Amino acid sequence: MNRAAAALTATLAASLLAAVPAQGQQYPNKPIRIVVPFAAGGTSDILARAIGPHVTAAWGQPVIVENRTGANGNVGADYVAKSAPDGSTLLLSDVGALAINPSVYTSMPFDPAKDFSPVVMVSYSPHVLAVHPSVPVGSVKELIAYAKANPGKLNFANSGTGGAPHLAGVEFAARTGVQWAYIPYKGGSAAVTDVIAGNANVLFNGMLATYPSVKSGRLKGLAVSSARRVPSAPELPTVAETLPGFETGSYQGVLAAAGTSRAVITKLNAELTRILNTDDMKEFLAKQGTEVRAGTPEALGAFIVNEKSRWAKVVKEAGVKAD
């Protein structure tokens, strides 16, 4: 090989190496974007902004939280599903919405069971059943009686058509015979804001995003949707004390695009599990009635499949459709 050919070969080799830097670098080698498919101030958003600084401290990479709202989480989820499968773009969402949406939307831009790589379940937060302070009820029984005596008078605010808070309201109405009008919003924080303003009357919504407004008196809390009372809110009974077996809530999880390497998923799972199980994080969440539910990627994947089956029947019987 002459000198010119050798020089050209060396140049080409250097160019090829420069074009694939990820092969020689350890994950993460660039900023991490956490996409929240709901508005700022909701459960997913609060969790993402609480977790982000811990990831930055551990790995030295900036974490950017980006809210991409619309279609009960489908807009943001679709963005992540179609992102590069390198672990730099993650979804933190109510995984119940991911599981429910295929039953609610006639056309889906992605398949929640095939187009994501589950990373880790983050938390469980029961829904709070709350009303505007002007609604003349102080318990679940009184709400049922008032709603039945005034059919169609109450407006039920929810985080989006077909979301877990919406279907909690649907299940509650089906079991009690109450009638109310459903008003969808672009996320739970917007629903809470409108009930506080008196533009809607009642809602189920994730405790993490809702309980602070109950404690401040801007909302009147009636119950929580967990199987047992929440230690941080002992004054709130469970809905199940009036309607046995009633249990709903906000299950939050982190997912990456399908095709993300097992090594990256394993590293993310380990670090996020460590962060979630720190005393500071567990205390922060517990004060808001939220439990850490970190587990394996496989456990999260199985949960999504099971939730899809569970809610498909409820959606069909109630005739809930978003389009």
Map out the domains of the chain as residue ranges. Answer: 30-124+249-318, 127-241
For residues 227-253, give the mean pLDDT: 95
Distance CA 130, CA 140 (A): 10
> CATH classification of 30-124+249-318 is 3.40.190.150, yes or no?
yes
Give helix 43-59 / helix 262-276 axis angle, nearest 10°.
Answer: 110
What local confidence, expressed as pLDDT, does residue 278 receive?
A: 97
Distance CA 216, CA 113 (A): 40
Distance CA 223, CA 126 (A): 10
Indicate whether 91 pLDDT > 50. Answer: yes
What is the value of pTM for the model shown?
0.83
The better pLDDT of the pair 64, 12 is held by: 64
Comparing 30-124+249-318 with 127-241, is the CATH topology the same?
A: yes
pLDDT band at 163 (very low <50, low <70, confident <90, very high): confident
Distance CA 84, CA 86 (A): 6
What local confidence, expressed as pLDDT, does residue 22 receive?
A: 47
Distance CA 81, CA 118 (A): 11
For residues 34-55, give the mean pLDDT: 95
CA 46 to chain centre: 10
Of the candidates 148, 184, 200, which has an alpha carbon nearest to the alpha carbon of residue 73?
184
> CATH classification of 127-241 is 3.40.50.10210, yes or no?
no
What local confidence, expressed as pLDDT, does residue 284 receive?
A: 92
Distance CA 98, CA 77 (A): 8
What local confidence, expressed as pLDDT, does residue 2 receive?
A: 52
Tokens at 150, concatenated = 């005034």
What local confidence, expressed as pLDDT, does residue 106 receive?
A: 87
Given its phi and psi angles, is residue 280 left (phi above 0), alpha (psi -120 to 50 degrees) or beta?
A: alpha
To which residue do tokens 């809530």 refer? 249
